[in-house]
Amino acid sequence: MDPRERGEGIGVDARGEDPERLQSAPAPVGAGEGRVRVGTAMDADYLPFHPNPSKPRYTPPPGAVDAHCHVFGPAARFPYAPERKYTPCDAPRERLYALRDFLGFERNVVVQATCHGNDNRALVDALIHSHGRARGVASVGRGVTDAELDALHDAGVRGVRFNFVRRLVDFTPRDVLAEIAARIAPRGWHVVVYFEAQDLPELWDFFTSLPTTVVVDHMGRPDVGQPVDGPGFGLFRRLLAEHRNVWSKVSCPERLSKSGPPGYDDVVPFARRIVEEFPDRVLWGTDWPHPNMKSHMPDDGALVDVIPRIAPTPSLERRLLVDNPMRLYWPEVAAARAYTEAFADIPGTVVFDATQSRLGYGLNQFCMSLMNGENRAAFKADERGYLAGWPMTGEQREAVIARDYNRMLALGGNIYFIAKIGATDGHSFQNLAAKMTGVPEDAYRAMMIAGGRSPRGNRSRSDPSR
């Protein structure tokens, strides 16, 4: 198998080296020659993240967000908290972002882990170096200042995490947590809560009193050995049904499953039930680098392949992976996207925004290469062979071969770039516009001279009478 199909180098391989596809990721400070530094104080029973995750069979929709993941260290730059309950191996941002690209995601939500305590420097570093493609959930104490909260917000933090899992953290008084929640609410932040299912009755009143959106990690860790319609999981579903500010992550089947990998079949009915009942309040994440796993270390590619089993329709997949996390963590981008998507109802209109730009990057790079005479000759001599050298999807290549310019636009092409293909074929821009409009060139020319196409009947795809 091609090592790229196994993701070699994303984690720790035999030599600690990156494969060719990941050479752009710099080695973490103190790692040496691309190696992921495994701290000497790592717990003896700690399992490092999977060294060679498989390439998922499932392809996430464009704009998909891994909404629950972590960064650890590197300890040489960002030491672990003295009060930590475990010492992990380093899992730096370079590895996280390489994994994101390998699995087919566009963005991350990085959650502060307990091994760093309230020292959010590693988290902030990861956000700053994400170029806007990551948001964060921090951990703060009662003494955090407004200036510090402002700095966290500027870095990309949009929430705080309250951890109630006793084996991971020491007890924090509820009045302290309530005070923190009251301070972050005006900033539009939310609270992430992590707890065990058996503790929900005790925590119910506190959770429902919080003045923010409340995101529950990993479905509240249900006992998947019990029926999905049983009273235990029923209480959690009731929490979501009665409190519309409560969301749930349907992540971490590897932590909940008794049947185990690769399919984690016993967790699927629980996650699917939450996704189908509360489709606008669910999130998904890898939980990389999977801290404190004892039974096994999951293959991240296999975790991604669980997604279509818990979100069985394209609409549910899009809400789980794109719409919901964008609305919660990038509301300004989501609002702008909703605005541009409104134009999709206008025939012949494709808005070339950042999402389209990323989707069509390889296609547009190919088009621009045709400005060079030698490249034009190479393309005309062997179109499929030339296209194979560019990072394009099969759909994009077939659209080029068929000279389907409207399809190229839908697949991320920019009209000014794809016009280079027409020029290579000896066609004018007017000829291309006629082809895309579906009329002969003479008719198109006459229509434009007469003032252009009538707006009547061309204002709306959904209402042709307009």
Whose structure tokens read 């989501």? 334
Q: Give pLDDT, residue 380.
A: 95
- ∠ at Cα 219 (217, 220), nearest 5°? 75
Q: Are 120 and 157 in contact (CB under 8 A)?
A: yes
Taking each helix axis from N to C end, the angle separating 121-128 and 93-103, rounded to the nearest 10 degrees, works out to: 50
Catalytic residue among 13, 18, 66, 287: 287
260: left (phi over 0), alpha (psi -120 to 50) or beta: left
> How far, in Å, CA of 353 to CA of 336, rounded?
10
Q: Give pLDDT, residue 17.
A: 30
HEC string of the chain? Answer: CCHHHHCCCCCCCCCCCCCHHHCCCCCCCCCCCCCCCCCCCCCCCCCCCCCCCCCCCCCCCCCCEEEEECCECCCCCCCCCCCCCCCCCCECHHHHHHHHHHHCCCEEEEECCHHHCCCCHHHHHHHHCCCCCEEEEECCCCCCCHHHHHHHHHHCEEEEEEECCCCCCCCCCHHHHHHHHHHHHHHCCEEEEECCHHHHHHHHHHHHHCCCCEEEHHHHCCCCCCCCCCHHHHHHHHHHHHCCCEEEECCCHHHHCCCCCCCCCCCHHHHHHHHHHCCCCEECCCCCCCCCCCCCCCCHHHHHCCHHHHCCCHHHHHHHHHHHHHHHHCHHHHHHHHHHHHHHHCCCCCCCCHHHHHHCHHHHHHHHHCCCHHHHHHHHHCHHHHHCCCCCCHHHHHHHHHCCHHHHHHCCCCHHHHHHHHHHCCCCHHHHHHHHHCCCHHHHHHHHHCCCCCCCCCCCCCCCCC
Q: Are strands 134-138 and 214-216 parallel, antiparallel or unpaired?
A: unpaired
Q: Are 230 and 197 in contact (CB under 8 A)?
A: no
> How far, in Å, CA of 340 to CA of 63, rounded?
15
Q: Give pLDDT, residue 301.
A: 97
Q: Are 54 and 306 in contact (CB under 8 A)?
A: no
307 exposure class (CB count in 10 Å sphere: 0-12, 13-18, 19+): buried
Q: Give pLDDT, residue 309.
A: 98
Q: Give pLDDT, residue 151.
A: 96
* Catalytic residue flag (residue 45): no
Question: For the chain, which residues score pLDDT lower than 70?
Answer: 1-40, 168-170, 339-342, 344-345, 348, 456-466
In degrees and rounded to multiples of 5, residue 25 shows phi and psi of: -80, 115
Q: Give pLDDT, residue 465.
A: 61
Q: Give pLDDT, residue 444.
A: 84
CA 401 to chain centre: 31
- DSSP-assigned beta bridge partners for residue 283: 249
Q: Give pLDDT, residue 334.
A: 77
* C-alpha distance from residue 312 to each of 232, 282, 307 (Å): 24, 14, 8
> How far, in Å, CA of 341 to CA of 438, rounded?
24
Q: What's the pTM value of the predicted model, to 2 decimals? A: 0.71
> How far, in Å, CA of 158 to CA of 414, rounded?
33
